[in-house]
């Protein structure tokens, strides 16, 4: 009986021990993915910013500029692309909408971002765009890969339509979470005018005819939770200028926007809570279950060997001082 129990325990030990690496190295890369139907919005603010008054074409100080960013998963588009891509694909339709203190639109930039649901690598397909212009992204945007590493990544900049390194600058603690801090600097670069101009009736083509150009620079900062690859906080020190041309009336340049853009406090709290919840799910697949099954396998193996030892141990000999039994007489 002991030997039979020992064999059963041994089989269970082998199963649990084999399951441990399978969960981590086989199941996790296939099960962990960004949902195709995800919806997320975020509000950012730039306090005491500089904004161009398009009526007077003078840069003015304003108390606040609000930027609303939304990411909406397009399930229908992702399913269509998956048929030819041969892998799980996520399509995010995003919109960055900025308003001034008077509630008037300052910027309106739509994007379509297509990427691999498991690795977050870009997937090139029809519809990939920024502000209506087709693009071919390289590197990441919005989200880092699961199990983010302490290294530089290529990050796509929507204004310049190019990718450049975003540098790992160290590990920090952000509201109880260990995060990786990344920073990217985009030098002054000439960029396109947005399709939706702040002044009604004015088009980018009309502004371009004046010879005036738009320039942009930013310092982009992200605090990324490495297990999920999700940014828990972000900032940008953002500047835009209009340069040259007849539109400026002989001036060399004028500031169109300058401000330190930060996430609003209530959205920071919401994002941190969401990332903590998702982090537990990822750790379940990468750490808790694999190590748990490995520990259980070792325990079952030890129990199996102990039962086998008990089954094989010879019976105890009779005591040496026990003599022949006394004869029985009537």
From CA 186, how far away is CA 113, in angstroms rounded? 20
User: What pLDDT does residue 249 have?
Assistant: 84
Kindly tell me if the per-residue pLDDT of 330 is higher than 60. Answer: no
Kindly tell me if the per-residue pLDDT of 323 is higher than 60. Answer: no
Phi, psi angle pair for 235, to nearest 5°: -140, 155
Choose among 81, 151, 143: nearest CA to 118: 143
CA angle 123-262-172, nearest 5°? 80
For the chain, what is the mean pLDDT? 90
92-140 confidence digits (pLDDT tens): 999 999 999 888 899 999 999 999 999 999 999 999 999 999 999 999 9
pLDDT band at 1 (very low <50, low <70, confident <90, very high): low
157-178 confidence digits (pLDDT tens): 999 999 999 999 999 999 999 9
34-80 confidence digits (pLDDT tens): 999 999 999 999 999 999 988 888 999 999 999 999 999 999 999 99
132-154 confidence digits (pLDDT tens): 999 999 999 999 999 999 999 99
Concatenating the DSSP letter of every residue in 68-79 gives EEEEEE-HHHHH
Quote helix, strand, coil % in the chain, to nearest 5: 30, 40, 30
Strand partners, 215: 190, 241
pLDDT band at 306 (very low <50, low <70, confident <90, very high): confident
Phi, psi angle pair for 324, to nearest 5°: -70, 150
Choose among 202, 196, 236: nearest CA to 216: 236
Choose among 156, 126, 161: nearest CA to 139: 156
The whole-model pTM stands at: 0.88
């Amino acid at each position: 009986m002991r030997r039979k129990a020992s064999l059963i325990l041994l089989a269970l030990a082998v199963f649990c021990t084999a399951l441990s690496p399978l969960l981590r190295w086989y199941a996790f890369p296939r099960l962990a993915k960004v949902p195709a139907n995800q919806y997320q919005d975020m509000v950012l603010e730039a306090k005491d910013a500089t904004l161009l008054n398009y009526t007077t074409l003078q840069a003015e100080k304003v108390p606040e500029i609000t930027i609303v960013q939304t990411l909406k998963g397009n399930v229908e588009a992702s399913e269509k692309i998956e048929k030819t891509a041969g892998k799980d694909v996520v399509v995010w339709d995003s919109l960055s909408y900025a308003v001034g203190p008077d509630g008037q639109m300052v910027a309106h930039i739509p994007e379509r971002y297509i990427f691999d649901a498991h690795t977050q690598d870009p997937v090139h397909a029809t519809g990939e765009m920024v502000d209506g212009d087709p693009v071919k992204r390289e590197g990441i945007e919005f989200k880092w890969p699961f199990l983010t590493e302490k290294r530089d990544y290529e990050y796509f900049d929507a204004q310049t339509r190019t990718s450049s390194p975003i540098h790992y600058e160290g590990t920090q603690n952000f509201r109880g979470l260990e995060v990786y801090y990344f920073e990217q600097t985009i030098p002054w670069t000439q960029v396109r005018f947005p399709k939706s101009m702040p002044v009604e009736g004015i088009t980018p083509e009309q502004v371009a005819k004046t010879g005036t150009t738009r320039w942009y620079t930013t310092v982009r900062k992200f605090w990324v939770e490495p297990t999920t690859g999700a940014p828990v906080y972000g900032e940008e020190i953002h500047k835009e200028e209009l340069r040259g041309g007849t539109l400026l009336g002989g001036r060399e340049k004028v500031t169109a926007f300058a401000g330190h853009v930060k996430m609003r406090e209530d959205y920071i709290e919401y994002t941190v809570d969401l990332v903590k919840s998702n982090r537990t799910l990822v750790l379940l697949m990468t750490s808790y279950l694999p190590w748990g099954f490995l520990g259980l396998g070792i325990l079952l193996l030890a129990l199996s060997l102990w039962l086998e030892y008990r089954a094989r141990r010879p019976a105890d000999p009779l005591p040496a001082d026990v003599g022949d039994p006394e004869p029985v007489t009537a």
